Amino acid sequence: MVSHSSRIELSQSALKANINFLRKKIGTDVRISCVVKANAYGHGISCYVPMAEKCGIDHFSVASGFEAEEVLEVCKPETRIMIMGILYDRDIPWAIENGIEFYVFNVERMQRVIEIARELGIPARIHLEAETGANRTGLTFQETGKCLTLIKKNSAHVEFEGLCTHFAGAETFANDFKIQKQYRTFNEFYALCKKRKVLPKMRHLASSAAALSFAKSRYEMVRVGVAQYGFWPSPDVYYHHLSANGKNSEKALRRIFSWKTDVMDVRKVSEGEFIGYGTAYQATRDMTIAVMPLGYSNGYPRGLSNRGHVLIKGKKAPITGLINMNLFMVDVSHIPDVQPGEEVVLIGRQGNGTINVASFTQTTQLVNQEMMSRLPQAIPRKAVR
């Protein structure tokens, strides 16, 4: 097979460490659903899902029917898949036939799903999403009542897998007043289910931040995204963990992901010459420059022009000039004997050097997720030890 311009390696041992840490922290009686939307936050669904299954994960959450199909293609037959977002009407029969769980957030959808399930003779596995304050998707109290009536009347056609909601900003402790209110509201929805005697198999509200820092919200399942990939959701959550455990640091969560390429060419540039487009970089001395075979069209942010670094022979090589569509150049004057074909680390570790995603974005964790989730699907992903 012809090689791509870069490659991503995923560490099975780092993932195992992360899942073990989460299990210990969250408790073994709480199910962990791994959120693998956005191509597993850029890690690559088809490579990542079997790796997570090896760590004992049997439930995956995605944002769309399309992503659910990607998981379905690579997961074990008994693994559960849950769609938290868009499932088009025309894809409902496909979801039901494949045992895929999905959110219901309006009454018309509930009615349609029951009709289709009855026609197929296969029960639909649904989760009722409650509106508790995020004002994205979710059923009001009244609508939930209607759905519960429909479920009760059609119990042969519906598996009531879960009652759920989503916290709007649990990673920032200044939002606590809002999160607590959502939590109380959610419990009222559950009380309604109890009153109607239509109980879900599971309650789930917590994403990584709440799963790590708001123990009461864990219930029967948590939907863990960013933490499984080795990122603390926010400094708030990290320091909450440290103070709760009397620790000064915690290294249990490890980055799974390395992004690599190879030097495409090496050349000498004389003092006064310009490197790449325009006048973005002028050599202030005689330099040795290595050419990288990828650019912004391959997910390497253009914003790193004249700013970022890559690792070659374990040393940092600064970017010189603009990130082009498919190329960029780095200064290797201080690194002896760099040859074409030399391994380059774009994100990850090499020798004593490290480049992490945060150094790419120099800002919040949320931006980290943005950066990762934009890495093109075309970059090959491979599991390593």
Per CB under 6 A, residues contacting ligand PLP are 35, 37, 84, 166, 207-209, 223-227, 233
Q: Which residue, 57 or 227, is less far from ligand PLP as judged by CB?
A: 227
Could you give the CA distance from residue 189 to residue 9 in angstroms, rounded to a whole number? Answer: 43
Least distance in Å: CB of 310 to ligand PLP?
27
Closest CA to 346 of 259, 254, 255: 259
Give every CB contact of residue 200 below 8 A, 6+ residues apart in sequence: 127, 128, 160, 161, 162, 163, 193
Could you give the CA distance from residue 272 to residue 328 in angstroms, rounded to a whole number? Answer: 19
Q: Which residues pair with 126 in a beta bridge?
A: 102, 160
Q: Which residue, 229 or 328, is less far from ligand PLP as judged by CB?
A: 229
Give the largest CA-CA distance in the chain: 81
Give me the phi and psi of 237, to 5 degrees please.
Answer: -70, -40
Closest CA to 291 of 329, 318, 253, 317: 329
- What does DSSP assign to residue 107? H
Residue type, 136: R
Q: Which residue, 225 or 321, is less far from ligand PLP as judged by CB?
A: 225
Residue type, 16: K
Could you give the CA distance from residue 115 to residue 157 in angstroms, rounded to a whole number? Answer: 8
Q: Which residue, 80 or 118, is less far from ligand PLP as judged by CB?
A: 80
Least distance in Å: CB of 181 to ligand PLP?
18
Q: Which residue, 113 or 221, is less far from ligand PLP as judged by CB?
A: 221
Least distance in Å: CB of 381 to ligand PLP?
19
206: three-class secondary structure by DSSP = coil
Only one residue has tokens 């009244």, namely: 142
Q: Which residue, 157 or 223, is less far from ligand PLP as judged by CB?
A: 223
Least distance in Å: CB of 209 to ligand PLP?
6
Could you give the CA distance from residue 241 to residue 223 in angstroms, rounded to a whole number? Answer: 18
Could you give the CA distance from residue 186 to residue 129 in angstroms, rounded to a whole number? Answer: 10
Least distance in Å: CB of 290 to ligand PLP?
35
379: three-class secondary structure by DSSP = coil
Do residues 38 and 77 lie in contact, with contact meaning Cβ atoms separated by under 8 Å? no
Helix (H) or strand (E) segment spanning residue 350: strand 343-350
Least distance in Å: CB of 208 to ligand PLP?
3
Least distance in Å: CB of 120 to ligand PLP?
27
Least distance in Å: CB of 133 to ligand PLP?
14
344, with CB counted inside 10 A (0-12, 13-18, 19+), is buried
Tokens of 159: 């598996």
Least distance in Å: CB of 274 to ligand PLP?
42
Q: Which residue, 169 or 318, is less far from ligand PLP as judged by CB?
A: 169
| CB atoms closer than 10 angstroms to residue 136 | 12
Q: Which residue, 37 or 309, is less far from ligand PLP as judged by CB?
A: 37
Q: Can you say how many angstroms the Cα of residue 207 is from the centroid of all Cα atoms in its chain?
A: 11
Residue closest to ligand PLP (Cβ): 225
Least distance in Å: CB of 61 to ligand PLP?
6
Q: Which residue, 79 or 165, is less far from ligand PLP as judged by CB?
A: 165
Q: Which residue, 208 or 213, is less far from ligand PLP as judged by CB?
A: 208
